[in-house]
Structure 1
Amino acid sequence: MTGPGLRTPDVERLEAVLERLVAAGRLSADQAVEVRTDYADAAPATLPPTERGAAAWRAVLPEVGGYVGGAFVVAAVLVLLGPRWDSLTAALQVSLLLGPGLLLVLAAGALSVTTPGGWRPRAAGNPSPRRRVVAVFLVVAAVLVAGAAAVIAGPDLADRVMSATATVLLIGAYAWCPAVLTQLALLLSAVLTVGTWTAWAAHQLTATENPSVAIGVALTVLAGGWLAGSVGGLVAERAVGVFGACAVAFLAAEILAVGGESTAAAVAGYLLLAVLAAGGLVGYVRTRLIGLLVVGVVALAVVVPQAVLDLTDGAIGAGGALLLVGMSVIGASVLGFRLRRGGSPG
């Protein structure tokens, strides 16, 4: 692995352990090589400077290759389908979407099962390059397979079937490979699923042409469930989950405040924004998660001018509106800086 004069203490200890295990017959020479390679990829900073570059390249090149290969698959699908989509038969459309999707699933599975030491869905520490590539493959595959399901379902059901199929597939993807990408993809898919199915149900049950209130309420429930799952440890990336839940709650509040046709819906939206602002700021003080500070400051900067302008029917005029927005943003910024001072100097 290294020359005798270049070994660090950590590398020396690793070599000593590997030599003992190989001598005792508990580890083969090939397995020892895999351990050395994985150690170099996972902890290149512990290697001598002359070897860090090679270790970094060994870690980066396969990952970049995976991304480039996935990009070529997506590009090929777009090139094949884009110009002549309407002229293709439904069977051919499904085949061109489903085939690459299944190939990506197989590639992700092959990468997973060949992981040295075995695949662990919830591996400790930072995600490895292998895990990031698996996440990309699974997310792209879910989109392609969901697209095939939409074609099979037909135009009347396409949006609902595609979003629901993607959500189900991404639940499996996240269970197999928890990562920031798979979690965000799952959350986005869940938002689309809730939105499309709630709009359809509201129209079927009430014949309404404006399902904004129903969608806002449904997204609020989704945000609450996602937040509970993030805080409770159901998702591995807690900070990302909390921030994602707050973002969905912000979207729900805006839909209620702007899209609803009643004052009650608007007031509910503004109250949700106020709760989000207070919760974000208090949560930041307690947890120091920067995402909560961003949510709190943005919600605070939005809720005051938006509520005043709406509830007064714009009586303060354009100049007053600009002044109110500016003062709200300044106040939120000052509050954000004061809270940040408690966590870091300057």
Structure 2
Amino acid sequence: MGESHAPDGLGGSARDRALRGLVDQGVLTTEQAAAVHNALAEAEPGRTGLRWAEITGYVGAGLVLVGAFVLATATWDDLSRAWQVAVLAVVTAALLAGGVGVAGGPRALGGRSHRVPTVRRRITGALLALAAATSALGINVLTEEDTMLAGGAAGLVVAVAGYVVLPSAVGVVACWAMSVLLVGSVVDVLRGDAYDQALAGALAFLALGVLWGALAGLGALDHRRLGLGLGAGIALAGVQHQLVGFGETVFAYVLTLLVAALLLVYYQWERAGVLLVFGILAITIAVPEMVWDLTDGEVGAAAVLLIAGAVLLGASWAGIRMHQARQPDG
């Protein structure tokens, strides 16, 4: 069964007439009716063929990209910088045009994006995400920077614009990846060759994670829990990578425990399992690091593993208790 894309988001079937009637009665809004219509259409048996077509499209697009990459790699160094920038600009423009076309044209984007069927939304999100990546690379080639500062900023602008006109899960991931690239480039530029500024880098990634959590919590993202998970992940990974990688063990477990506390406190307000999972993970990482540091490494590896296991069990038990406390029936 093909996709339904009537001008108002509904077709002419009995089900669609019923939905339109509920809109007329004020029971549902137009957006809610369109969402119900798309959800029911996705559940129909005939959608199986469309899903396989979607998968085939992803595989085909992947093969084309791999082929283009191999071809470009073989001749890339022979091209002048102007030609390299031109090639990346053409690829970016093609990806943007393809994404808009798959969505149903410019009129399907923006305020009308809720009417874009799920399959088209995913494919469009993937194309726009790739456009953000190629634009970042193109700006980097143009500026000839050692870091991706300008490229990361350009990629973030394209990714955010793509998510605004058509929200999708892959669009959230693209925005997150470009924000991580940008912050990482800023940290590299400010730090230079001085590796003793690891704390500043850790705080930068911690702030980025808090920003993502705030955006998700305030409803700026349609994919709320995905945004929370990405924010929690980059806060934890950023602190550990920046501090442990440069030997700043004390700051590493102190800030990791801070991340755990923020996530568990946030979980009391926002019941998202991903917050609980990352909070428990942060505790499990930080406590063995703290024990190792406070004992000057005299605790053996086996003991550290036992401590980590005990902490994980205790944190899991506490997490279960917290989750149960959030239930209406206790």
Tell me, yes or no, whether TM beats 0.5.
yes
Take 2:205 and 2:291, find their aligned partners in 1: how far apart are those partners?
Answer: 24
C-alpha distance in 2 between matches for 1:221 and 1:312: 31
Counterpart selection for 2:287 from 281, 286, 304 = 304
Please show how residues 45-84 of structure 1 align to structure 2 within 5 Å. 52-57=44-49, 59-60=50-51, 63-64=54-55, 66-84=57-75
For 1:170, the aligned partner's letter is: A
Matches of 1:272 and 1:129 in 2, distance apart?
A: 41
SS in 2 for 1:296: helix
State the distance in 2 between where 1:127 and 1:300 align.
41
- Provide the residue aligned with 2:215 in structure 1: 229
How far did residue 339 of structure 1 move?
3.8
Runs of 5+ consecutive residues of structure 2 not aligned to the other structure: 2-11, 21-34
Aligned partners of 1:342, 1:162: CA distance in 2, in Å? 46
Amino acid at match of 1:316: V
Partner of 1:208: 194
Residue 238 of structure 1 pairs with residue 227 of structure 2: no
**Greater RCO, CA 8 A, separation 6+:** 2
Number of the residue aligned with 2:317: 334
Residue 290 of structure 1 corresponds to 273
Decide whether aligned partners of structure 1 residues 314 and 246 sit closer, same or farther in structure 2, where only a CA change above 3 A counts: same
CA displacement at 1:64 relative to structure 2: 3.5
Which of the numbers 235, 257, 262 marks the counterpart of 1:279?
A: 262
Which residue identity is paired with 2:178?
S
Does residue 1:153 correspond to 2:168, yes or no? no
* CA distance in structure 2 between the aligned counterparts of 1:83 and 1:139, rounded to whole angstroms: 25
Identify which of 81, 93, 114 aligns with 1:90: 81
Question: Deviation digits for residues 99-147 of structure 1, max 9, x if unmatched?
Answer: 22211111112233448x8434585599711111110000111112222
2:182 to 188, 193, 203: 193
- 1:190 to partner: Cα distance: 0.9
* Residues in 1 aligned to 2:85 and 2:286: alpha-carbon distance in whole angstroms: 45
Structure 1 Cα separation of the partners of residues 244 and 18 of structure 2: 66
Deviations 1:246-280 (A, max 9, x none): 11211232145414555xxx444323222322333
- Are 1:122 and 1:236, in contact at CA under 8 Å, matched by a contact in 2? no
| Partner in structure 2 of residue 139 of structure 1 | 129
Assess if the C-alpha contact under 8 Å between 1:274 and 1:303 holds in 2: yes
Q: 1:125 to 1:277 in 2, by over 3 A?
A: farther
Q: Larger Cα Rg: Structure 1 or Structure 2? A: 1
Residue aligning to 1:105? 96
CA contact (8 A) 1:273 1:299 kept: yes
| 3-state SS of paired residue (2:297) | coil
Gaps of 5+ in 1: 2-9, 19-37, 47-51
Q: CA deviation at 1:320?
A: 2.4
Please give the alpha-carbon distance, in whole angstroms, between the structure 1 residues aligned to 2:116 and 2:19. Answer: 24
- 2-structure distance, mates of 1:245, 1:281: 14
What are the Cα deviations for residues 175-227 of structure 1, in whole angstroms up to 9, with x where unaligned? 22222211112112111211112221232xxx624442221111122122222
Distance 1:304 1:138 in 2: 41
Structure-2 change in CA distance of 1:13 and 1:87 (3 Å): closer
CA distance in 2, matches of 1:201, 1:226: 22
Q: Work out whether 1:254 is the aligned partner of 2:240.
A: yes
Given the alignment of the two structures, is residue 220 of structure 1 paired with residue 206 of structure 2, yes or no?
yes
Quote the Cα distance in structure 1 between the aligned partners of 2:117 and 2:314.
38
Compared with structure 1, are the counterparts of its residues 250 and 130 closer, same or farther at alpha carbon in structure 2 (3 Å cutoff)?
same
**Is the 8 Å Cα contact of residues 105 and 141 (structure 1) preserved in structure 2?**
yes
The answer on whether the counterparts of 1:223 and 1:245 sit within 8 Å (CA) in structure 2 is yes
Q: Calculate percent identity across the aligned residue pairs.
A: 27
The residue aligned with 1:12 is 14
- 2:8 counterpart residue number: none
- CA displacement at 1:158 relative to structure 2: 5.0
Number of aligned positions between the proteins? 306
Displacement of 1:327: 1.5
Which residue in 1 is equivalent to 2:308?
Answer: 325
- Answer yes or no: is the 8 Å Cα contact 1:104–1:138 preserved in 2: yes
Contact kept, 8 Å, 1:73 with 1:100, in 2: the verdict is: no
Shift of 1:293: 1.4
From 35, 40, 43, the equivalent of 1:43 is 40
2:289 counterpart of 1:313: no
- 224-233 or 313-322, larger mean C-alpha shift: 313-322
